[in-house]
Amino acid sequence: MTADRNPHRTSGSPPRVSADREALLRTVVHLWPYIWPSDRADLKGRVVGAMALLLVAKLATIAVPFTFKWATDALAGGGSAPVASSDWLVWIVAAPILMTVAYGGMRILMAVLTQLRDGLFAKVAMHAVRRLAYRTFVHMHELSLRFHLERKTGGLTRVLERGRNGIETIVRMVILQLAPTIIELALVTGVLMWQFDWRYVVVILITVVLYMAYTYYATEWRIGIRRKMNDSDTDANVKAIDSLLNYETVKYFSAEEREAARYDRAMERYEDASVRAYTSLSVLNAGQATIFTVGLAAAMVMCAFEIRAGSKTVGDFVLINSMMIQLYQPLNFMGMVYREIKQAVIDIETMFSILARNPEIQDAPGAAPLTVSAGVIRFDNVAFAYEPDRPILKGISFEVPAGKTVAVVGPSGAGKSTISRLLYRFYDLSAGRITIDGQDIAQVTQASLRRQIGMVPQDTVLFNDTIRYNIRYGRWEASDAEVEEAARLAQIDGFIRLSPKGYETEVGERGLKLSGGEKQRVAIARTILKAPPILVLDEATSALDSHTEKEIQDALERVSQGRTTLVIAHRLSTIVSADEIIVLSQGEIVERGTHYALLAKNGLYASMWNRQREAEEARERLARAGDDEGAPNRNPPPVEDAITAAAATAETAPPVAPADAAE
């Protein structure tokens, strides 16, 4: 059996294949604490028991050819032996039968012990797989937002999946195949030296060396082919996931054929690489079979000459054949084990590289939990850049007093959303510091910081589970009554109760079964349930119609009472009542003040307000004229466009009277 069990089994997104032959040893060293866990005596016992069963099974395996030889000799000599008595006649008849029964019994014992060994060790192998997969999953969550923004989700899930399979392969192959195969090779060689002579051992050793050398070089050649197959497989998988996640966008632009062609091109590359993988596998298997068969034939020819000379029996001829066949099984396993392990090392190399990557954001040594008494947020000369040559924030300073609401507005690219990410400490600052109640957030634990902040993002993504699950995500220990009260405050309880399954309604992948407004209200509900002392609202009502916006805005104002609230605003009508409005432009604060004070300044904010009012009034006029019946209940056109346009014309914008703006 020289063929791969599954030649189409794919590896992780192709890592660099190290030329260092110690890669396997390093991998086993990394895996050993999971195979021999210091805190699990029961698993250690399973390892010891599996190894004991393995050794007994190998002794039974070596005994099989001898029972075959004895049965053959008994049968070959039975016809010519003299019959001295009835007892001798019984022995002649019974001996071949007994040896044949012994042969069958040894084979059964070998198979049973092997299966018992595999069953006993399964718990060890799968526990190692589980622990390493868990560690990788946790580590992926510890890595920075930058890391995840630079990776494709489909590619990361394939790394995890293939890493799991690779770990299982290495654990099972090295412990249950590689070590016992070496032992069996040694036993077979010793038996042949004892039963025959050194010439047979030389033939065997030459066969083994040629076989392993050919396997090594052919496998190294196949790895390059396999890497290309992995490339195309990962590419096809990522494209499929990306297209399906953007199902609605594909439909909007009637791009089904383009997406199908894009996917088919990736699958075409996978097809070509797979054909080459199959072809190379055939070459490998054919070469292995040829080398071994030549060695087998040479040993049998030598034995045939000795039989003709009278120094060996027919049983010896059967024995050498059985021993060589018996040798072929572990020898074939050596080739297969090498191929599988090399491929598994490729599979988990990316997983280990992810595990070796240090999180960009880490708790400072001795970091203490954040203690929030009042909830005062202070940005003190904060500078930040995603890339060193492209600064986003340039030394901004402002304060959000305890229990007050501060809004941040500005054109696209001004750095508004960056402020919320820095407050959550998704990134570390380039300069300056951010404090909460005087505590530098870089010096407190990340978990305690994020527990104290509630976020309602503009783009809400839900888990593919029930509405109740998604709301309860805000505070997992909350009761059903608390979940439902949060939904009522978020103005979604009525909609939920009208659904046939109520709170057990499935929301679909990324919440696509819900409308944009419904998803936003679920996000608001789970933040209400979390009940944090600090709120961050990234245009929490952007996906709602005018009527619902007013209801949600009232609910948010009730929730934010007594809480420090930072609002990242795109629709300016939602921040009229803010205690202070900060206007950003190109990473700097250009204006600050209340809504009416900023209108009176007749600067950038006033220009942005004027642009949005003009857009809303134009739609209202169209609605009154009957040209757009649904206009009053729709959202205004993209506010970012209006704000950006206003920023470019702020100096020449017409004055906006405070009295008019207050209407």
CATH for 461-530 is 3.40.50.300
CATH class of 377-452+532-661: alpha beta
Tell me the one-letter amino acid at 602: N
Query: 534 versus 519: which is more confidently predicted?
Result: 534
Among 630, 635, 629, which Cα is nearest to 615's? 635
Given this chain, do its domains 377-452+532-661 and 461-530 carry the same CATH topology?
yes
| 418, 420, 426, 432 alpha-carbon torsion, rounded to 10° | 70
Q: How far apart are CA 490 and CA 486, in angstroms?
A: 6
CB-CB contact of 213 with 330 (8 Å):
no
Highest mean pLDDT among 57-61, 205-209, 344-348: 205-209
pLDDT digits (tens, 9 = 90+) for 484-503: 888 888 878 888 888 888 88
If one compares 630 and 135, the residue with the highest pLDDT of the two is 135
Task: Determine the pLDDT at residue 250.
Answer: 83
Highest average pLDDT, of 156-165, 193-202, 623-632, comes from 193-202
* Per-residue pLDDT band at 317 (split at 50, 70, 90): confident
pLDDT confidence of residue 446: 86
Confidence of residue 381 (pLDDT cuts 50, 70, 90): very high
Asked whether residue 82 carries a pLDDT value surpassing 50, the answer given is: no
User: Domain residues of the chain, as ranges?
Assistant: 23-356, 377-452+532-661, 461-530
3-class DSSP state of 320: helix
Is the CB of residue 572 less than 8 Å from the CB of residue 409?
A: yes
Task: List the one residue out of 657, 660, 662, 663 whose CA is nearest residue 600.
Answer: 657
pLDDT in tens, 403-416: 888 999 887 777 78
| 143 vs 292 pLDDT, higher one | 292
Residue 629's pLDDT is: 47
Per-residue pLDDT at 240 exceeds 80:
yes
Q: What whole-number percentage of the chain has pLDDT above 90?
A: 5
Asked whether residue 462 carries a pLDDT value surpassing 90, the answer given is: no
- Model pLDDT for residues 535-578, shown as the tens digit of each residue: 888 876 655 566 666 766 776 777 777 789 998 887 787 888 88
Q: DSSP characters for 209-264?
A: HHHHHHHHHHHHHHHHHHHHHHHHHHHHHHHHHHHHHTHHHHHHTT-HHHHHHHHH
Mean pLDDT over 342-369 rounds to 76
| Position 380 confidence tier, pLDDT thresholds 50, 70, 90 | very high
Average pLDDT over residues 83-108: 65
pTM of the model: 0.59
Q: How far apart are CA 103 and CA 96, in angstroms?
A: 10
Residues 175-224: tens digit of each pLDDT: 667 777 777 777 778 887 888 888 888 888 898 889 888 888 887 787 77
Give the fold, CATH level 3, of 23-356: ABC transporter transmembrane region fold (1.20.1560)
| DSSP codes joined into one string, 9-68 | ---SS-------TTHHHHHHHHHHHHHS-TT-HHHHHHHHHHHHHHHHHHHHHHHHHHHH
Query: Backbone phi, then psi, for 585, in 5-degree steps?
Result: -150, 120
